Structure 1
Amino acid sequence: MIEAAMIWNEPNNKSHWDPELDPDWSRFADMVTRTGAAIRAVNPDLTRVLGGMSPIDPLWIQRMEGHGGLSEIDVVAVHGFPLDWNLWPIHAWPEKIAEIEAVTDKPVWVTEVGVGSFGAEEVQVFGVSRTAELLVGRVPRVFWYSLFDLPQEWGATTRHREAEGSSYYRHFYMGLIRADGTPKPALDNYAKVAGEMGLMQWFHYQDPRLDDAVKWMKQLGTKQLRTGLSWADSFRPNATDWFDRQMDALADFDVTVTFCFTPEHLGDGQHHTSPPRDPQQFADFCAWAIDRYAPAVKKAAVTA
């Protein structure tokens, strides 16, 4: 069920990787190389995806290549939210993809794209349809962010929260389904392309929405899902039981699993965006998860 493993999330965004602790991303590149090699050792057929960049930045890709950070990567990924956070129009999507294709020969996936309903739900309706027109068929994988609105009481996974100003509150309106479980108008538009445009949905530790998400995705006809397994969560009580339940529930979908979030006690900065003091520990966690949920398939011997 796992078709790809993504190494980290938005590593060129300070909400997910601390540039003060790793200003040239050399530590990140080292961690990616170790992790990619560890995943390959467990399952050499699994696609390895570099954590989706946000903002879309060809110079960052070139820097990663200069550090050797693409040597154990099969796909690079981008994230874009042109009607909410980015300073470019939604119609520029093909140009943004081309900017990355110009600096790497690796395939480009769009592993998060979304339009929120913060200002008006009609904007999201337009956003789903226009995004599909621009990206479906243009890149191998597109994941819409997200299925569910983030409940206000949970808080967004970002270091800066209210310091982001009004943009922080857009985090809570990116779903196709409201936090109370009622669908937004854009859900019907997504349903028309669900077989070609996947969904990106984070599931929090012991997330009560998991079973409802599976029901909705099957009803919609969604085939591809991107989600995450948190390294930090792996230190919670009964973490493996939760990971097992989550991955078992998602067994009917083609899953891109994202590994990210540094445990506070293992990072220099003691927060989830910190480079780990020992990057091999992150690589080992990812290898453990792949061995558990996506081990290599043994090929039957061919006899004459």
Structure 2
Amino acid sequence: MNKAGSRASDHQETRQFGFVEWFRPGEYERAEVALPDILESGASYLRTHLSWAEYLAPGGQQWFDWLIPRIGSEIDLLPCIHYTPPSLSRTGRSSGPPIDLKSYADFVDHVLTRYGRYISHIELWNEPNNLLDWDWRHDSDFLLFCEMVGGAAYWAKQRGYKPVLGGPCPFDPYWLNLMGTRGVLGVVDAVGFHGFPGTWDSEEASWGGWDMHLGEMRGIIDRYNADAEIWITETGYSTWRNDEIEQARRFIKALNVPADRMYWYSWCDVPPDVPVQEGLWFDPRHYHLGAVSHDNKPKLLARLLTEGGVKRLEEVAALAAPNIASGAAPIVVTGGSGFVGCNLADSLLSDGEDVIILDSLARSGVDQNLSWLKERHGGRVHPVLADVRDLLGIEAAFRDAKAVFHYAAQTAVTTSLVDPLEDFETNARGTLNVLESVRRAGKRAPVIFASTNKVYGALDDLGLVELGDRYLPEDETVRTQGI
């Protein structure tokens, strides 16, 4: 077996993964909340940035004096050292090359002296082909970058640490080969790769698949330093369309590619009032890359990892197999993994119907109901793991439906008061998406809308009597005809 194949095999056996999380100066409470949750997810690594510019700003050293030991004492920490202090930059910006290139190596040396006992690897810069991280207009041939990073990497190795070369985004094999010819690859222990398939349009045009890109990367690295590892230092998937199951699938895919480490970007969504590099709400996809929401609500990825790790994640992702024979006319049950939905589906399946179960699995444990249906009815159960808030994600499920039972909903009144926007998106917009999907299908399928017991109120005037193993209305007419 070749080196790449051996590494891939070892990687799949250990099944280790990490998260990326940038902490802004002063976010003591957020770091204290996030760290135990990240550990509970089963993560082995955490990548965060140690901004040279922020370190030299007022209060910066005190912040990192707290953050690096706090995280590094709990988990394998990869600090990414980037951003030139504007006062030391040739452009007056944090993305500009430093006036004295050696000053970057001096800062790396300072970091290793001050925090070295908490780290083994150190990442040198981030996305050097991104103008917001490295202004290559002032370094068009990357000579300045190579001298700056190469010198820092050489010195870090002399001190017994393992430097990691920051990954470009999108991947650029010509840039990587340039790093080899300039000698940078020869003084690093790992090379970073950034890739976000399915999220960024600019990347989709050049995305050839994990195997192609990492194979090309391995071939280049082997020419200059065959011992260097490949680390996926950033990959992720934005749930801006509420397609959380796709995020889980992409995580599994990234975990099984031939790389020595995988860092998922990110643990937590960016808060809606915080600007990203490009500006406040420059692109909504930036704000939904986390495994948990900005207010720390677990998405499907975080919940499943916390419940049972990668194995649990794979079990649930494997439930979705909506293969329906040509010409079939299934019945769609949205929210079909819930209590009422799965019992209705069981009845329909027992009558010989094919049933599409459309469910986001947002409620913990409902995947067990879906597994129960599959065990009882086999191939006539067709799970579609999607969210009714995602019109593009659900539309195909209704294409051949002969009838639709709509049970997908946010059911808790208390939740509707705490987060009325999410409640509206699920219950109102979600219902509209279902109706629109049926309309576009053109089959005139009837839609049976399940309301809620809340419309009946408390029913304080309804007398109940105990009959056998249940309580029933004492009024015989109500008992037989309903309310």
TM-score in terms of structure 1 length = 0.56
- Cα deviation 1:127-155 (Å, max 9, x = unaligned): 33234235436211001100000112221
Quote the offset at 1:193 in angstroms: 2.5
Q: How does 1:1-304 map to 2 (within 5 A)?
A: 1=76, 2-42=119-159, 44=160, 46-85=161-200, 86-87=203-204, 92-105=209-222, 106-118=228-240, 120-122=241-243, 124-136=244-256, 138-156=258-276, 158=277, 160-161=278-279, 168-191=283-306, 192-193=309-310
Do the aligned partners of 1:121 and 1:186 also contact (CA within 8 Å) in 2?
Answer: no
The letter for the 2-side match of 1:65 is G
Do the aligned partners of 1:177 and 1:184 also contact (CA within 8 Å) in 2?
Answer: yes
Quote the offset at 1:180 in angstroms: 1.3
Do the aligned partners of 2:248 and 2:300 also contact (CA within 8 Å) in 1?
Answer: no
Higher helix share: 2
Do the aligned partners of 1:13 and 1:53 also contact (CA within 8 Å) in 2?
Answer: yes
The letter for the 1-side match of 2:279 is R
Do the aligned partners of 1:93 and 1:135 also contact (CA within 8 Å) in 2?
Answer: no
Unaligned 5+ segments in structure 2 are: 1-75, 77-118, 223-227, 313-483
Quote the offset at 1:27 in angstroms: 0.6
Q: Distance between the aligned counterparts of 1:177 and 1:126, measured in 2? A: 14
Q: Distance between the aligned counterparts of 1:40 and 1:65, measured in 2? A: 17
Q: Distance between the aligned counterparts of 1:56 and 1:93, measured in 2? A: 11
- Cα deviation 1:268-291 (Å, max 9, x = unaligned): xxxxxxxxxxxxxxxxxxxxxxxx
Q: Distance between the aligned counterparts of 1:190 and 1:91, measured in 2? A: 28
Distance 1:88 1:94, change over 3 A: farther
Quote the offset at 1:169 in angstroms: 2.5
Quote the offset at 1:17 in angstroms: 0.7
- Cα deviation 1:16-69 (Å, max 9, x = unaligned): 110111111111111111111221232x2x321100221111111111122222
- Cα deviation 1:208-254 (Å, max 9, x = unaligned): xxxxxxxxxxxxxxxxxxxxxxxxxxxxxxxxxxxxxxxxxxxxxxx
Question: Whose Rg is larger?
Answer: 2
3-state SS in 2 of match to 1:108: strand
3-state SS in 2 of match to 1:112: strand
Do the aligned partners of 2:254 and 2:262 also contact (CA within 8 Å) in 1?
Answer: no
The letter for the 1-side match of 2:253 is E
The letter for the 2-side match of 1:117 is T
Distance 1:60 1:181, change over 3 A: same
Do the aligned partners of 1:148 and 1:174 also contact (CA within 8 Å) in 2?
Answer: yes
Q: Distance between the aligned counterparts of 2:253 and 2:204, measured in 1? A: 20
Distance 1:190 1:3, change over 3 A: farther
3-state SS in 1 of match to 2:178: helix
Distance 1:175 1:182, change over 3 A: same
Do the aligned partners of 2:189 and 2:229 also contact (CA within 8 Å) in 1?
Answer: yes
Greater alpha carbon shift after TM alignment, 22-31 vs 101-110: 101-110
Q: Distance between the aligned counterparts of 2:234 and 2:254, measured in 1? A: 14
Q: Distance between the aligned counterparts of 1:127 and 1:71, measured in 2? A: 35
Q: Distance between the aligned counterparts of 2:269 and 2:311, measured in 1? A: 18
Do the aligned partners of 2:193 and 2:234 also contact (CA within 8 Å) in 1?
Answer: yes
Q: Distance between the aligned counterparts of 1:22 and 1:149, measured in 2? A: 33
Q: Distance between the aligned counterparts of 1:143 and 1:167, measured in 2? A: 24
Q: Distance between the aligned counterparts of 1:62 and 1:100, measured in 2? A: 9
Q: Distance between the aligned counterparts of 2:147 and 2:300, measured in 1? A: 44
Higher RCO (Cα < 8 Å, 6 or more apart) = 1
Greater alpha carbon shift after TM alignment, 126-135 vs 59-68: 126-135
- Cα deviation 1:282-302 (Å, max 9, x = unaligned): xxxxxxxxxxxxxxxxxxxxx
The letter for the 1-side match of 2:212 is E
3-state SS in 1 of match to 2:221: coil
Q: How many residues align?
A: 187
Distance 1:173 1:89, change over 3 A: farther
Unaligned 5+ segments in structure 1 are: 196-304
Distance 1:14 1:189, change over 3 A: farther
